[in-house]
Amino acid sequence: MLLSCGTLIAAPAALLLVRLTGLDAGTPLAVPMVLFPYSTALGVLVLGVITAVPSVRSRWAVAVVAAVVAVQVSLLVPRFVPERRPVPADAIELRVATVNTDGGSVDPGALVELIRTERIDVLAVEQMPSQGADALDKAGLRALMPYRELHPEYDSSIYSRHPLSRSGTTHVDTAWPQTTAEVAVGAHKVQFVAVHTYYPLGDAKRWTRDMTALASVARRSGPDTVFLGDFNASLDHSPMRELLAAGLTDTHAELGKGWARTWPVGHALVPPLIQLDHVLHGSGLVGVSVGERTVPGTDHRAVVAVLALLPANDRAT
């Protein structure tokens, strides 16, 4: 029994080592890293067994497993604790959303209805071909969001209720250009980047270069910046943490909603397990709310967030 518990704790301990050392960057270890929260739950279970069952109780085993679990939990807890940054009552709010359309398989009517009911100001879509864009317009999206920067050839596009400026694509070392545009909101100009990176299962080095390139864009961006889309990354990936360190905040973690799951969707026997889709923002904004929405036809859940624009004297330095 003790041997079995030791075998079970080996996987959480290995993932903890990867998490602490960043060995997932550019390596196949990026794939199992998405299971880090589940490995923590497994570690807690093993600790409970070896503590409660006299036949397997060992002072050294308890100490080792408890140490592993304590470190795991300490790494996860911050994303479940809201930052509670104050939002001025008169702050302008932006309602944003992102969804990977799974090659245009998303139900266009359902997506347009989501935009309408959630009163979305800016929408980022990923993996949407030209036919998908036409279907969305036929379903009524053009009337809701007449301004757009569409790049189906590059896997990401931006729709908006408000006029866009400085729109186009990034010129950095990503597998394909990322679509970007600026939205004027009151006295602010908010830069949006619609993100779709390569995936680590296909090429972990290419995925890491994508994330590193996005971090370089973030470092050059001002405080009024929003990166949203399918990052093919969780908060436990070291390239994602480097991107956040470049001046961005994950809205889910900011609001204490650390157990968001956006992929996969549409499988009867497999519920959404991991979060690959995120809304990240600069220090000039603060998260008000965030949540996931299931839209028929795609294997990703949409992420909907409300962000408040902060006046200059309330911004983090």
Q: Clarify whether residues 52 and 20 are in a common domain.
A: yes
What would the pLDDT profile of 67-109 be if each residue is shown by its tens digit?
Answer: 999 999 999 999 999 998 888 888 999 999 999 999 999 999 9
- DSSP H stretches of helix in 102-250: 108-118, 130-138, 141-144, 204-220, 238-245
Q: Clarify whether residues 50 and 161 are in a common domain.
A: no
Q: Which of 57, 80, 103 finishes a domain? A: 80
pLDDT-derived band at 316 (thresholds 50, 70, 90) equals: low
CA distance 170 to 176: 9
What would the pLDDT profile of 1-39 be if each residue is shown by its tens digit?
Answer: 545 555 668 889 999 999 999 999 999 999 999 999 999
Q: Clarify whether residues 69 and 189 are in a common domain.
A: no
**Predicted pLDDT at 61:** 77
Q: Clarify whether residues 76 and 159 are in a common domain.
A: no
Q: Clarify whether residues 266 and 286 are in a common domain.
A: yes
What would the pLDDT profile of 223-245 be if each residue is shown by its tens digit?
Answer: 999 999 999 999 999 999 999 99
CATH number at residue 171: 3.60.10.10
How long a stretch of residues is the chain?
A: 317
- Mean pLDDT value of segment 210-214: 98
Quick one: which H or E segment has residue 287? strand 285-293
Whether pLDDT at 267 is above 90: no
**Predicted pLDDT at 172:** 97
**Predicted pLDDT at 235:** 98
**Predicted pLDDT at 315:** 61
Q: Clarify whether residues 44 and 119 are in a common domain.
A: no
Residue 68 lies in a domain: yes
Q: Is there a contact between 30 and 237 (Cβ–Cβ < 8 Å)?
A: yes
Burial class, 59, CB count within 10 angstroms (exposed 0-12 / middle 13-18 / buried 19+): exposed
Q: Clarify whether residues 140 and 284 are in a common domain.
A: yes
Q: Would you call 306 helix, strand, or coil by DSSP?
A: strand
Q: Is there a contact between 233 and 227 (Cβ–Cβ < 8 Å)?
A: no
What would the pLDDT profile of 116-163 be if each residue is shown by its tens digit?
Answer: 999 999 999 999 999 999 999 999 999 999 999 999 999 999 999 999
What would the pLDDT profile of 48-62 be if each residue is shown by its tens digit?
Answer: 888 876 665 677 778
Q: Which of 80, 115, 150 finishes a domain? A: 80
What would the pLDDT profile of 161-173 be if each residue is shown by its tens digit?
Answer: 999 999 999 999 9
Residue closest to 201 by CA, chosen among 16, 34, 18 = 34
Q: Which of 80, 107, 124 finishes a domain? A: 80
pLDDT-derived band at 187 (thresholds 50, 70, 90) equals: confident
Residue closest to 299 by CA, chosen among 268, 278, 258, 257 = 268
Q: Which domain holds residue 230?
A: 92-314
